[in-house]
A = this chain, B = another copy of it.
Amino acid sequence: MMDQLAKESPKSAKSLRKEIEECGRELAYLQRKCRELEIPVLIVVEGLSAAGKGTIINRMIQPMDPRGFKVSCIASPNRDEQMRPFLWRFWRRTPSADRMAIFDRSWYRNLLDVEIANQLNEADLKKAYSDVRAFERQLRDGGTVILKFFLEISKKEQAARLAVLQENPATAWRVSDAVLQRHSRYNDYVKAVAKMFRETDLADESPWHKISSESAKVATSLVLRHLVDALTARVKERKKGICVQAGKQPLELPAFPKSPSFKDADMSLGLRKREYLKKLESRQDRIQELHHELYRLRIPLVIVYEGWDASGKGGNIRRLTEKMDPRGYEVIPVSAPNDVEKAHHYLWRFWTEFPKAGHITIFDRSWYGRVLVERVEGFCSETDWKQAYNEINEMEDNFRHFGSIVLKFWVHIDKDEQLKRFRAREANPHKRWKLHEEDWRNREKWHLYEEAAEEMFLRTHAPKSPWSIIEGNCKRYARIKALDVVIEAIEKKIAEKT
Chain A residues proximal to chain B, CB less than 8 Å: 25, 29, 32, 54, 57-58, 61-62, 65-67, 70-71, 73, 78-80, 102, 104, 170-171, 173-174, 288-289, 292-293, 295-296, 314, 317-318, 321-327, 330-333, 335, 338-340, 364, 430, 433
Contacts of A32 in B (CB 8 A): 433
Query: What are 28 A-B interface contacts by the 8 Å CB criterion?
Result: A25-B430, A32-B433, A54-B325, A54-B327, A57-B326, A58-B322, A58-B323, A58-B324, A62-B318, A65-B314, A65-B333, A66-B317, A66-B331, A66-B364, A71-B326, A71-B327, A71-B330, A73-B326, A73-B327, A78-B79, A80-B80, A102-B326, A170-B288, A170-B289, A170-B293, A171-B292, A173-B295, A174-B292
Contacts of A296 in B (CB 8 A): 173
B293 touches A62 (CB 8 A): no
Shortest distance from the beta carbon of A175 to any chain B beta carbon, whole Å: 12
A66 touches B333 (CB 8 A): yes
Contacts of A340 in B (CB 8 A): 338-340
Nearest to A70 among chain B residues (CB) is B330
The 3 A-B residue pairs with the shortest CB-CB distance, nearest first, are A66-B331, A67-B333, A73-B327
Q: Contacts A58-B324, A326-B57 known; A67 to B170 CB distance under 8 Å? A: no
Contacts of A29 in B (CB 8 A): 430
Contacts of A25 in B (CB 8 A): 430
Shortest distance from the beta carbon of A23 to any chain B beta carbon, whole Å: 15
A66 touches B324 (CB 8 A): no
B58 touches A325 (CB 8 A): yes
Taking A32-B433, A67-B335 as given, write out 13 further A-B residue pairs in contact, using a Cβ cutoff of 8 Å, ordered by the A residue number. A54-B325, A54-B327, A58-B323, A66-B331, A66-B333, A71-B326, A73-B327, A78-B79, A80-B80, A171-B292, A173-B296, A339-B340, A340-B340
Q: Cα distance A171–B291 when bound, in Å?
A: 10
Pick the contact of A326 from B54, B171, B324, B364 — CB < 8 Å? Answer: B54
Q: Cα distance A333–B99 when bound, in Å?
A: 12
Q: Cα distance A331–B70 when bound, in Å?
A: 9
Contacts of A338 in B (CB 8 A): 339-340
Nearest to A173 among chain B residues (CB) is B296
B78 touches A332 (CB 8 A): no
Pick the contact of A332 from B61, B66, B174 — CB < 8 Å? Answer: B66
Q: Cα distance A433–B65 when bound, in Å?
A: 12
Contacts of A170 in B (CB 8 A): 288-289, 292-293
Contacts of A174 in B (CB 8 A): 292
Contacts of A65 in B (CB 8 A): 314, 333
Q: Cα distance A320–B295 when bound, in Å?
A: 48
Contacts of A173 in B (CB 8 A): 292, 295-296
Q: Cα distance A176–B56 when bound, in Å?
A: 49
Contacts of A326 in B (CB 8 A): 54, 57-58, 61, 71, 73, 102, 104
Nearest to A293 among chain B residues (CB) is B170
Shortest distance from the beta carbon of A49 to any chain B beta carbon, whole Å: 13
Q: Cα distance A289–B330 when bound, in Å?
A: 46
Q: Cα distance A89–B139 when bound, in Å?
A: 30
Contacts of A80 in B (CB 8 A): 78, 80
Shortest distance from the beta carbon of A164 to any chain B beta carbon, whole Å: 14
Contacts of A293 in B (CB 8 A): 170
Shortest distance from the beta carbon of A451 to any chain B beta carbon, whole Å: 28
Contacts of A364 in B (CB 8 A): 66
Interface core residue of A292, A327, A330 (most chain B CB under 10 Å):
A327
Nearest to A56 among chain B residues (CB) is B326
Contacts of A332 in B (CB 8 A): 66
Q: Contacts A170-B289, A339-B339, A340-B340 known; A322 to B66 CB distance under 8 Å? A: no
Nearest to A61 among chain B residues (CB) is B326
Q: Cα distance A70–B292 when bound, in Å?
A: 21
Contacts of A171 in B (CB 8 A): 292
Nearest to A343 among chain B residues (CB) is B338
Contacts of A78 in B (CB 8 A): 78-80
